[in-house]
Amino acid sequence: MRDGAYVQAVGGVRFDLAAGECLALVGESGCGKSVLASALLGLLPGNAEIAGSALAGGLDLLAADECTLARTVRGRRVGLVPQSPAAHLTPVRTVRSQLEETVRELTGVRRGPRLRAAAEEAAERAAFPAGHLDRHPHELSGGLAQRAATALALVGDAPLLLADEPTTGLDRDLVERTVDELRRHIGAERALLLITHDLAAAERIADRVAVMYASRIVELAEAAAFFGDPGPRHPYARGLLDALPDREFTPIPGMPPELGALPAGCAFAARCDRATDTCAIRPALADGVACHHPATVPLEAPRA
C-alpha cells in the first residue's frame, strides 16, 4: 500500500527454476523485479500483502515465518546479492570481520587460519581485493561494496542464489568476472536467479530469460532463442534488445504505466505499434508469451 492506495508491484508471476540452471529476470527499473526477490526472502515492508506460494526444497518461502526465514532460509537455502549493498553491510565492522562471521555461521569453520583463509577465498571469488578486507563499508566505492556483498552471498553455497542487479557500479571487465563467478555457483544442487537490466550479462550466463513488464512476466524463453534466432516474441522484449547500442540503438517510445494505475488490458499497448482493439483484454502468458500479437505472428489489422 502506498499513500492509502494499493499498488500491485508483482502480479500473476509463475515460473520454475531447476538445479543446474540460471534464469535471468530482466526488464526496466520499477517493473517489480526486486520486489519479487524481496518477497522470496521475507524482506518486504510490513504493509505488503502476499498471495501464492514459492516452493524451495519443500518449504513455501512465502508462508514461512520470520524465525524460519532467519534461521534456515537466508544464507542457507537462499543466498542474496542485494541491489543496495550499503544497506546490507554493517557500517561499524570491517569487510573481513563480516566475511568471517558469515563463514562461522554457514560453514562451521570457527577460528584460526582456516577461518581467515575461508574469508579471503570468498573475497577472491567475488574479485574483492585482499588489500581492502580490513576497511569499513564507508571506505569502499560503490563497486567494491557490491563485490563485498557478492562475497558474503557466495559463502554458504546456498541451493538458490538470488542476485539482484549484482553488476551495479562495475566496469565491463568486472561485470564479466562477476557473472562468470555467479555462473560457477550453479551445480547439481544449486540454481541462480539473476535479476538484471544488463542484457549483455544475462546473455553471457543465462539458460532461460523471463521478461517482466509492469509487474507481470510477459515472455519466458530459452536464452539461445531469445538472444539469437528467432529472437523475442513479445514486442516489449524485442524493444529491449533493439535499444542496445550493438543492435538498433532505438529506444522504446513512451513510459511504463504507474503500478498503482495499471490498465485493464495489455499494459504495454500504449507503447506498442502492434496494438489493436483486442489488446483492451489482458493477455495471459501462453506458450511463453503474454501477447495477442506476438512478433512472430503476422498482424491481422492495423492499429486502431
Give residue 47's Cα distance to chain centre.
22
Mean pLDDT of the chain: 91
| Helices 95-107 and 142-154, packing angle to 10 deg | 20
Q: Which of these, 290, 94, 59, lies nearest to 102 by C-alpha position? A: 94
Residue 58: its pLDDT value, please?
87
Instruction: Answer yes or no: is pLDDT of 3 > 90.
Output: no
Q: Which of these, 42, 48, 97, lies nearest to 69 by C-alpha position? A: 42
Span 143-165, mean pLDDT?
93
Find which of 1-10, 104-113, 246-255, 270-279 is predicted with most confidence, using mean pLDDT.
270-279
**Nearest-angstrom CA–CA distance, 197 and 178:** 15
Specify the length of the chain in residues: 304
**Nearest-angstrom CA–CA distance, 176 and 173:** 5
Beta-carbon contacts of residue 234 (< 8 Å; ≥ 6 apart)? 211, 213, 218, 219, 268, 289, 290, 291, 294, 295
Span 130-156, mean pLDDT?
93
Instruction: Answer yes or no: is pLDDT of 249 > 50.
Output: yes
Span 131-141, mean pLDDT?
95
Longest dimension (CA), the chain: 72
Residue 160: its pLDDT value, please?
95
**Nearest-angstrom CA–CA distance, 18 and 191:** 6
% of residues, the chain, pLDDT over 90: 73
Instruction: Indicate yes or no: pTM above 0.85.
Output: yes
Q: How far is CA 125 from CA 78, 120, 121, 156, 178, in A?
A: 18, 9, 6, 13, 8
Cis omega (within 30 of 0) on the bond before 230?
A: yes
% of residues, the chain, pLDDT over 70: 96
pLDDT band at 20 (very low <50, low <70, confident <90, very high): very high
Span 114-122, mean pLDDT?
94
Q: Which CATH architecture has domain 1-64+198-304?
A: 3-Layer(aba) Sandwich (3.40)
pLDDT, tens only, 190-237: 999 999 999 999 999 999 999 999 999 999 999 999 999 999 999 999
**Nearest-angstrom CA–CA distance, 104 and 55:** 27
Paired residues of 138 in beta bridges: none
Beta-carbon contacts of residue 15 (< 8 Å; ≥ 6 apart)? 23, 210, 217, 220
Structural domain spans, the chain: 1-64+198-304
Residue 202: its pLDDT value, please?
96
Task: Could you list the beta-strand ranges (E) of the chain.
Answer: 22-26, 55-56, 59-60, 78-81, 160-164, 191-196, 208-213, 216-222
Residue 214: its pLDDT value, please?
95
Q: What residue type is assigned to position 250 of the chain?
A: T
Residue 200: its pLDDT value, please?
93
Residue 304: its pLDDT value, please?
41
Buried b (16+ CB within 10 A) or exposed e, 101-119: bbbbebeeeeeeeebbebb
Instruction: Answer yes or no: is pLDDT of 299 > 80.
Output: no
pLDDT, tens only, 280-295: 999 999 999 999 999 8
